[in-house]
Amino acid sequence: MQVTILFKKVSNLVEQYPSIDKIIRNTHIYAYDKLDGSNIRAEWNRKTGFSKFGSRRQLIDTSNPLLGEAIPLIQEKYTEVLDEIFRKQKYQKATAFFEFYGEHSFAGYHEDEPHDVTLFDVHVYKQGILPPKDFNKMFKYVDTPELLFEGKPSQEFISAVKTGSLEGMTFEGVVCKGGYDNRNRLASFKIKNLAWLDKLKNRFIDDEQMFNKLA
């Protein structure tokens, strides 16, 4: 059973996850498995802990169909340990970003089945997205996407992603994260599995705009 999610646009969360481009940069990167699901964010501050949850652009609560399921999953799996880490780091505010997904999730569409959440990034107030080296160290005992490659993206690595043969990779591809660019933004790009892109093209064969949005 496929479920379509509709929300009233009431975005008043502070941080939205930045878009990731497709331009491969010849720089030192950390490449993580790209889990195929929906982006969920959770806002934390020292006074109230985790008090706001949202999808990429809207607030959500547990009454939202399907995506609302992510909130108790995050609370059970992450909020206690992340609260401890954030307080130890003396943060005032932070936004944690999670992937919400199931076995048959695809391109933001979800089936009526068990789901999980995985922490993949953290934005710290007045600091920005944590660099991958800091993220890896800070959350080494927390469930995060598998680190599949470190170094400059060689042609062999790129080919392995595109053919789906990179060891440890699931289906969609990888997200590559490096240092900060000249706009003080964390440099990142994604590489997709060509088989995943073919499946996406077949799903949206009559909707080129949606295909380009999700590709």
Q: How far apart are CA 79 and CA 85, in angstroms?
A: 10
Residue 124's pLDDT is what?
Answer: 96
Number of Cβ atoms within 10 Å of the Cβ of 171:
15
Length of the chain: 215
User: Taking 80 as the threshold, does the pLDDT of residue 2 lie above it?
Assistant: no
pTM equals: 0.90
Query: Measuring CA to CA, how many Å separate 118 from each of 24, 35, 46, 70, 208?
Result: 25, 9, 22, 10, 30
For 50-106, how does the pLDDT look when each residue is reduced to its tens digit (9 = 90+)? 999 999 888 999 999 889 999 999 999 999 999 999 999 999 999 999 999 999 999
Residue 10's pLDDT is what?
Answer: 38
Whether domain 37-144 has CATH 3.40.50.300: the reply is no
For 143-185, how does the pLDDT look when each residue is reduced to its tens digit (9 = 90+)? 999 999 999 999 999 999 999 999 999 999 999 998 766 666 6
User: Taking 50 as the threshold, does the pLDDT of residue 3 lie above it?
Assistant: no
For range 105-119, the mean pLDDT:
95
